[in-house]
């Protein structure tokens, strides 16, 4: 089983109000992370914006080169990613994990979210599995939406940015689904 990183970047860019930067750089937007000199293949990111139509704000994010591990006999794959919501005083982090079966179909997703300087708002979502729902990404969106809808994150930018995590996480799952190849 393989993970197609270029497909991931293209897929993320294709969704409404999403724009991956440097998408025509020959690497579909994957760039070496400027904050480190490491030559590891994992020292790459895609930077992108989400234009929130409700607030009128354009919000900035970064996703790191996905880490994958496969099950014995290529019988499945786990994909994980750290997503940074770029804030002026310190980034928030989402860790998203998804599992894929031997045919490359998603069988679970879960996530954990850390809010910079606001640990009382931290969230974890227990595994959502293919026996719970036919659309794990949508169920993740709904779960996060419900957890966040009544939270006031302070400023209007943080309220727009942090409450977009449901959409951003949902799209990451769809883009990962498109990128796991058997």
Binding residues vs another protein (CB under 8 A): 33, 35-36, 38-43, 64-65, 67, 69-73, 75-76, 78, 80-82, 84, 90-93, 95, 97, 99, 101-103, 107-108, 110, 112-117, 119, 122-124, 126-127, 129-132
Which residue, 151, 125, 160, is CA-closest to 140? Answer: 125
Which residue, 139, 140, 160, is CA-closest to 151? Answer: 160
- Classified as helix, coil or strand, 7 is helix
- Please say which residue, 17 or 102, places its beta carbon nearer to another protein: 102
Minimum distance of another protein from residue 129's CB (angstroms): 4
Minimum distance of another protein from residue 171's CB (angstroms): 19
Going through 54-169 in order, the beta strands assigned E by DSSP cover 57-64, 67-70, 77-85, 92-100, 106-114, 123-129
Minimum distance of another protein from residue 72's CB (angstroms): 5
């Amino acid at each position: 089983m393989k993970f197609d990183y270029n497909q991931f970047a293209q897929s993320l860019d294709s969704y409404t109000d999403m724009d991956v930067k440097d998408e025509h750089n020959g690497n579909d937007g994957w760039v070496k992370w400027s904050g480190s000199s490491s030559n590891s293949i994992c020292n790459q990111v895609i930077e992108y914006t989400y234009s929130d139509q409700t607030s009128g704000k354009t919000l900035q994010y970064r996703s790191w080169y996905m880490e994958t591990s496969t099950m014995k006999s290529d019988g499945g794959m786990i994909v994980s990613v750290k997503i940074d919501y770029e804030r002026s005083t310190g980034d928030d982090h989402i860790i998203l994990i998804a599992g894929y079966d031997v045919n490359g179909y998603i069988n679970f997703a879960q996530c954990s979210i850390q809010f910079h300087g606001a640990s009382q708002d931290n969230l974890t979502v227990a595994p959502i599995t293919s026996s719970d729902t036919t659309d794990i990404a949508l169920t993740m969106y709904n779960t996060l939406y419900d957890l966040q809808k009544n939270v006031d994150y302070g400023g209007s930018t943080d309220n727009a940015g942090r409450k977009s995590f449901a959409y951003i996480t949902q799209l990451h799952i769809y883009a990962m689904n498109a990128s796991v190849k058997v």
